[in-house]
Structure 1
Amino acid sequence: PGDISWAMTLEEARADFDFLNQLPGKKILLKGNHDYWWPTDKKLRDFLDPSTTFINKNSITLENLTIGGARLWDNTEINSDSIIDFVPGTKPTIRDLTEQDKKTFDLEISRLEGSLSSMPEGKLRIAMTHYPPIEPTMAGSRFSELFERYRIDHVLFGHIHNAKKLPLYGQKNGVNYHLVAADYLDFCPKHIATIL
């Protein structure tokens, strides 16, 4: 989820979307921190192929599956440095969070809860976030509490690049957490669930 294209404008992203449009099935997008091209909801709806849609303060239901989520943001609650293979001779850059970061983080929590609360009951429930919603140690977070409250079955997230090739994340209190960053998965799809 997220970081769909490195383009800076929607027009520059066209080639990436031409590729996505050729893939089979329904595609559901979520904004990442590098999706600078992401326009208004109306412009994006007008631009996308009918096989592609997106989540932004909403949820999507397809037959027996419903998906909600939000991008999230940098925060001090979750640190993934322990699972990243840093380039030798470098170390993680830790920056102080600004007041704007804190406001964005609070807004993203609100968006996540709004999206999850819009999901209908009785379906396989998946949440997508761009930023990790839980520590690699599986210690709880404000996000994991929301997923438990809204009875989410699976949480898919990305953002982490150069992750160590270890079995990471897993299940906590009935919620399955999946790191699905493309480079972590060697650009191969990961089976999440079978929908009957």
Structure 2
Amino acid sequence: MAIFAISDLHLPLSVDKPMDVFGERWRNYVERMQSNWQKIVGADDIVIMPGDISWATYLDDSVADFEYINNLNGTKVILKGNHDYWWTTMNKLNNFLERKDFNTIKFIHNNAFMYGRTAICGTRGWNIAGENSSEEDKRIFLREKQRLILSLEDAKRNNSEEIIVAMHYPPVEIGGQNLEFIDIMKEYGVKKCIYGHLHAAAQKFARQGDVNGVNLSLVSCDFLNFIPKLV
């Protein structure tokens, strides 16, 4: 039993939006990722997927992408990314999984997923709010902090012994000092946080390793060479 993570799959199986336009490293990545995944992830393992899952705009248009995910080994725990336009209410998401018999997929939204005594928590996150942020960005940033707290409170109710936080956006900005997400994690005893969102040149500046006692890891699939990372 192990926990892996990989994000930003940007699956194009439901729509005609191939990722190889972003460079040679994306060529045939769907097939390569499937091969890598099936070699290292077991049926009893968990794979955390913090956002940007499918290019589909609507949930019912995403069937091919979720069928691909459902057929991969392990239980997949999915959070929302900024490009997941198909995302809707938890009731509709769970009804979709039931209707399509996608029984290896779970969603996190204001809740925690328990794997033994380990809780997987998280939220999408947002651009880190600063003095030059718009009022709308500040509002979304505040809402995402509250959603992280709701998720962590659910872990607390379930008497978790360890908590892993997953976010789509980085929990700290590049070179910045705003640690509000990190402070929330520390309050709940979180030691590990994984995140995605960053691609190409931006990955060179990703904050990784220890930040005030929380270990950060970037898990964007192109950064991982399309191999799920053991966390």
Which category of TM-score, normalised to the shorter sequence, fits these structures?
0.7 to 0.9
Match of 1:111 in 2: 147
Question: Who is 2:86 aligned against?
Answer: 37
Deviation readout 1:44-71 (Å, 9 max, x if unpaired): 0011222111110111112132111111
1:74-153 to structure 2, matched below 5 A, reads 74-77=127-130, 97-120=133-156, 121-137=159-175, 139=177, 141-153=179-191
Structure 2 residue identity aligned to 1:180: V
Question: Helix, strand or coil: the match of 1:53?
Answer: strand
Number of residue-to-residue matches in the alignment? 174
The reply to whether residue 26 of structure 1 matches residue 26 of structure 2 is no
TM-score, structure 2 as length reference: 0.69
2:227 is aligned with 1:178: no
Question: What is the CA distance between 1:119 and its match in structure 2?
Answer: 1.1
Deviation at 1:168, TM superposition (A): 5.0
CA deviation vs aligned residue, 1:4-42 (integer Å, no higher than 9, x gap): 111101122111101000111111110001000112211
Specify the alignment match of 2:111 in structure 1.
58
Cα displacement string for residues 54-109 of structure 1 (whole angstroms, at most 9, x for unaligned residues): 110111112132111111112345xxxxxxxxxxxxxxxxxx74322221111111
Structure 1: segments with no counterpart, 5+ residues: 78-95
Distance 2:153 2:55 in 1: 31
Amino acid at match of 1:68: C
CA distance in 2, matches of 1:131, 1:122: 24
Could you tell me how far apart the structure 2 residues matched to 1:109 and 1:180 are? 21
Distance 1:142 1:39 in 2: 27
- The structural deviation recorded for 1:124 is 2.4
Aligned partner letter, 1:142 = E
Helix, strand or coil at the partner of 1:8? coil
Q: Could you say which structure has the higher helix fraction?
A: 2
CA distance in 2, matches of 1:150, 1:164: 28
Q: Say if 1:187 and 1:165 are closer, same or farther in 2 by CA, change over 3 A.
A: farther
Of the structure 1 ranges 117-126 and 173-182, higher mean CA displacement relative to structure 2 is found in 117-126
Residue 227 of structure 2 corresponds to residue 188 of structure 1: yes
Moved more, 67-76 or 124-133: 67-76
- Give, as a single letter, the amino acid of the residue that structure 1 aligns with 2:150: G
5+ residue gaps, structure 2, are 1-49
Which residue in 2 is equivalent to 1:159? 197
1-structure distance, mates of 2:58, 2:206: 36
